[in-house]
Homo-oligomer: A and B are copies of this chain.
Amino acid sequence: MDYKTLTKDELEKQLASEQKVLKKLAKEGRVVDMTRGRPSSEQLDLSVPMFDTVKDADFISQNIDVRNYGGVLGTKESRELFAEILGVKSEEVIVMDNSSLSIMYDLVQFAKQFGIDGHTPWNKLPKVKFICPAPGYDRHFAICEALGIEMITVPMLEDGPDMDLVEPMVKADASIKGIWCVPKYSNPTGITYSDEVVERIATMPTAAEDFRVFWDNAYCVHGLYDEDDKLKNIFEVAKKADTKDRIYEFASTSKITFASAGISCVATSVKNVEEIKSHLFYKTIGPNKVNQYMHALFLKNKEGVLKLMKQHADILRPKFQIVDKALSDAFTDDKFVNWSKPNGGYFVSVDVKSCAARIVELAKSAGVSFTKAGATFPYGMDDYNRNIRIAPSVPSEEELEFAMKVFVSAIKIARMEIVLQKCFSD
C-alpha cells in the first residue's frame, strides 16, 4: 500500500478507520506477552518424563555418586552428549548448570579479573571492546554494558556479520577482545552463518592474542522443518588454522528440556578447559550433577535430542506460520515491511521504516507486548528505529492470531502517522 498517493483527507479517514480497528481489538481486554523467546508450557511438558529416569537409578556416573560433591567439569555422560551435538571431543566440554548466559558472563569476568592465558587482565587495560553484530541478542550486549566493555556495532547480513567490516577492525585494534555470535538461527534475524563467514571468523588475523569468539550456538538443534540449516563446525576450521583457543562455544538445553532447569556447556580447546577449570575450582565445588545425570538418561544422545526437537518443532511451526501468514496477507510486495522467514530458532524479525518504537507502543495499548524496540541493538540504539523482534512461542495459536491482528493494525497506523506528518504537516 502506498499511502503517499492519497489526499490528506483520504489518509486521515483511513487512519481513523484503522484506529477504530485497533481500539476494537484493545477492547477485547486480552494480554499477550511476546517479549522473550520462552518455550510454552506445552513444550515444557515434553520433558517432564525426565523425572521418571531417576526411579531405581543408582546415581552413579564413572564410579562417582552424582548426588555428592565434586566433578567441576560435569558428568562424563553429559559432556559426551554435548560433544556429540556440537561435533567436538568430550574433553573439550565443560557442562555446568542451567544458564549458558552465566558461563559467558563468568568467562568475561575471568578475563577481566585474571586475564586470559597470561595476558593482561582486561580490568587493567584502558579500554576493551567487543564486536556486536546487530540486530543481535540483547543479553549479550547487556553483559558488555554491565562489565564496561565498549560495543562496536556491525551490521548483521543475510549470511552473518559483515566480515568486510569486522576483519580490518580486529586486525588493527588490539583492544578489540571479542565478538558475540549466534551463528545458527540467529537471534533475532533467524539467519545461519555461511561457511565463508564461519571460516573468516575462525581464521581472521586479530591484533589481540587474547581475542575470543563467543559462539553462542543456542539454537543448534532448533530447526522447524525437515530441511535444517547447516552450520559449519567452527572447531574444524579453527583446528586447521591453529586458532582453537580463540573459540568459546556455548549451548544449553534451555529450549530442549526446561528453560529454568536445563544444563549448559562451554566447548573450547583443552588448554582453555584447563584454564577455566583453574578458576572454577575457587568458585564452586561442582555443578548440579543430578540434573546432568537425569538429562543424560532422558536425552540419551544426539538422536534422542533430535527426536525431542521434532516434537518441539511440531508445536512451534504452526505459530511461525501464523506470524508469516498475517504479515504476508497484509504486506506482501510492500517495501515498508520486511520480515524474516527462519527455518528455526525462536524469533521472527520485522524491519519497518523509522517507526518500530511507535508500533511496539501501539501494540502494547491493545494488550500485546513485544520486546522493547531497540533492544536488539547495542546500547538499545536502533539508529533507524526499524527492528521489532517477534517471539511467537508462548502464546497459543488463537492468541497469536489476535496478536498479529493487533501488530498489523499497529504497523498501518504508525505508517499513516508518518506519512501524515511528513507530507501534510503544516
- Beyond A54-B48, A291-B288, whether A38 also contacts B146 by CB under 8 A is no
Instruction: Let me know if A112 is at the binding interface, CB within 8 A.
Output: yes
Residues of B within 8 A of A105 (CB): 282-284
Residues of B within 8 A of A142 (CB): 281-282
Which chain B residue shows the least CB distance to A146?
Answer: B282
Instruction: Let me know if A241 is at the binding interface, CB within 8 A.
Output: no
Residues of B within 8 A of A109 (CB): 109, 113
Instruction: Let me know if A203 is at the binding interface, CB within 8 A.
Output: no
Residues of B within 8 A of A283 (CB): 101-102, 105-106, 146
| Complexed CA–CA distance, A105 and B113 (Å) | 13
Binds B, one of A222-230, A255-263, A366-374: A255-263
Specify which of B67, B101, B284 is in contact with A44 (CB 8 Å cutoff). Answer: B67
Which chain B residue shows the least CB distance to A112?
Answer: B113
| Complexed CA–CA distance, A113 and B113 (Å) | 8
CB distance from A385 to the nearest CB of B (A): 25
CB distance from A163 to the nearest CB of B (A): 28
User: Are A39 and B51 touching (Cβ within 8 A)?
Assistant: no
| Complexed CA–CA distance, A234 and B65 (Å) | 36
Specify which of B51, B123, B143, B284 is in contact with A99 (CB 8 Å cutoff). Answer: B284
Q: Which of A138-176 contact B (CB under 8 A)?
A: 139, 142-143, 145-147
Residues of B within 8 A of A70 (CB): 260
User: Are B102 and A258 touching (Cβ within 8 A)?
Assistant: no
CB distance from A299 to the nearest CB of B (A): 16
Which chain B residue shows the least CB distance to A258?
Answer: B67
Instruction: Let me know if A69 is at the binding interface, CB within 8 A.
Output: yes
Specify which of B106, B113, B123, B282 is in contact with A143 (CB 8 Å cutoff). Answer: B282
Which chain B residue shows the least CB distance to A97?
Answer: B97
Instruction: Let me know if A1 is at the binding interface, CB within 8 A.
Output: no
| Complexed CA–CA distance, A145 and B278 (Å) | 13
Specify which of B38, B123, B284, B289 is in contact with A102 (CB 8 Å cutoff). Answer: B284
| Complexed CA–CA distance, A36 and B70 (Å) | 10
Residues of B within 8 A of A259 (CB): 67-69, 285
Residues of B within 8 A of A112 (CB): 113
Interface string of A58-72 (1 = CB under 8 A from B): 010000011111110
Which chain B residue shows the least CB distance to A54?
Answer: B51
User: Are B99 and A98 touching (Cβ within 8 A)?
Assistant: no
Residues of B within 8 A of A99 (CB): 284-286
Instruction: Let me know if A350 is at the binding interface, CB within 8 A.
Output: no
Instruction: Let me know if A392 is at the binding interface, CB within 8 A.
Output: no
CB distance from A8 to the nearest CB of B (A): 47
Q: Which of A72-90 contact B (CB under 8 A)?
A: none
User: Are A51 and B44 touching (Cβ within 8 A)?
Assistant: no
Which chain B residue shows the least CB distance to A294?
Answer: B51
Residues of B within 8 A of A39 (CB): 68
Residues of B within 8 A of A261 (CB): 66-67, 288-291
Residues of B within 8 A of A113 (CB): 109, 112-113, 123, 147
| Complexed CA–CA distance, A59 and B260 (Å) | 12
Instruction: Let me know if A190 is at the binding interface, CB within 8 A.
Output: no
Q: Which of A98-121 contact B (CB under 8 A)?
A: 98-99, 101-102, 105-106, 109, 112-113
Instruction: Let me know if A239 is at the binding interface, CB within 8 A.
Output: no
Instruction: Using CB atoms and an 8 Å cutoff, list the residues of chain A in contact with chain B.
Output: 36, 38-39, 41, 44, 48, 51, 54-55, 59, 65-71, 97-99, 101-102, 105-106, 109, 112-113, 123, 139, 142-143, 145-147, 254, 258-261, 279, 281-291
Q: List 28 A-B contacts (CB under 8 A).
A: A36-B69, A38-B68, A39-B68, A44-B67, A48-B54, A51-B51, A67-B261, A68-B260, A97-B98, A97-B288, A98-B288, A99-B285, A99-B286, A102-B283, A105-B283, A105-B284, A106-B283, A112-B113, A113-B147, A123-B123, A142-B281, A142-B282, A259-B285, A260-B287, A260-B289, A261-B289, A261-B290, A291-B291
Q: Which 9 pairs from chain A and chain B are nearest by CB?
A: A261-B290, A146-B282, A44-B67, A67-B258, A105-B283, A260-B289, A69-B259, A99-B284, A102-B284
